[in-house]
């Protein structure tokens, strides 16, 4: 299990409410894009953020975008009002978003997700079509490459479905 899979396992083991998005989701569908982090869309309720903090406690999460890189320290009161968390941990980067471009809020992302069973355990992943839409909306060079691959995967799946 690589570091990203270990991060994923931590979230699953601590029952964090999330949906895998981004590069790791593309890889799960068969894309060859490289990813160095785990991107998730998550419920930003205080209860869920405290579970996230507990899941990451042993891997020393710090705020990646803050110049001083303070540790992630949330209290029930301090866990309110967050929109995104960009973290570095001993096992790699974890980006936690409250919404996904072209899809919407966490609830909309969850509605456009499917359950998968990676080695780390059961979790939800953005559906292939929703992932394509979100990557198209981001429109960065790496996302354009991912879109090409994901559309080819979608076409292959459609052809397999019509030949059954």
The pLDDT tens digits for 109-127 are: 999 999 999 988 999 999 9
pLDDT at residue 36, rounded to an integer: 86
The 3-state DSSP class for residue 12 equals: helix
Q: What are phi and psi of 122, to 5 degrees?
A: -70, 140
Kindly report, residue by residue over 43-69, the tens digit of the pLDDT: 999 999 999 999 999 999 999 999 999
The total number of structural domains that make up the chain:
1
Could you tell me which of 39, 12, 46 has the C-alpha nearest to residue 101?
A: 39
Residue 2, pLDDT score: 83
* H/E element, 93: strand 92-97
- Torsion angle of C-alpha atoms 33, 145, 137, 134, degrees rounded to 10: -30
CB atoms within 10 A of CB 47: 11
pLDDT band at 1 (very low <50, low <70, confident <90, very high): low
Please, what's the largest Cα pairwise distance for the chain? 56
CA distance 84 to 69: 15
DSSP alpha helices (H): ranges in the chain? 3-13, 22-28, 46-56, 106-111, 128-138, 141-162
Q: Which residues are CB-contacts of 66 (< 8 A; sequence separation ≥ 6)?
A: none
Segments forming the whole domain that contains residue 139: 3-162
pLDDT for the residue numbered 164: 59
17-30 confidence digits (pLDDT tens): 999 999 999 999 99
Q: Per residue in 71-88, pLDDT tens?
A: 999 999 989 989 999 999
- Read off the CATH number of the domain in which 56 is found: 3.30.460.40
């Amino acid at each position: 299990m690589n570091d990203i899979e270990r991060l994923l396992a931590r979230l699953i083991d601590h029952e964090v409410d999330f949906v895998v998005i981004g590069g790791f989701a593309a890889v799960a569908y068969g894309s060859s894009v490289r990813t160095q982090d785990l991107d998730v869309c998550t419920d930003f309720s205080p209860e869920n953020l405290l579970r996230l903090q507990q899941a990451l406690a042993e891997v020393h999460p710090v705020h990646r975008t803050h110049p001083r890189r303070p540790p992630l320290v949330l209290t029930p009161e301090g866990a309110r009002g967050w929109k995104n968390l960009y973290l570095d941990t001993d096992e790699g980067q974890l980006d936690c978003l409250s919404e996904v471009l072209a899809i919407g809020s966490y609830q909309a992302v969850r509605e456009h997700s499917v359950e998968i069973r990676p080695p780390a355990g059961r979790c939800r992943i953005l559906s292939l079509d929703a992932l394509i839409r979100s990557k198209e909306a981001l429109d960065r060079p790496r996302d354009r490459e991912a879109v090409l691959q994901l559309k080819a995967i979608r076409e292959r799946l459609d052809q397999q479905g019509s030949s059954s």
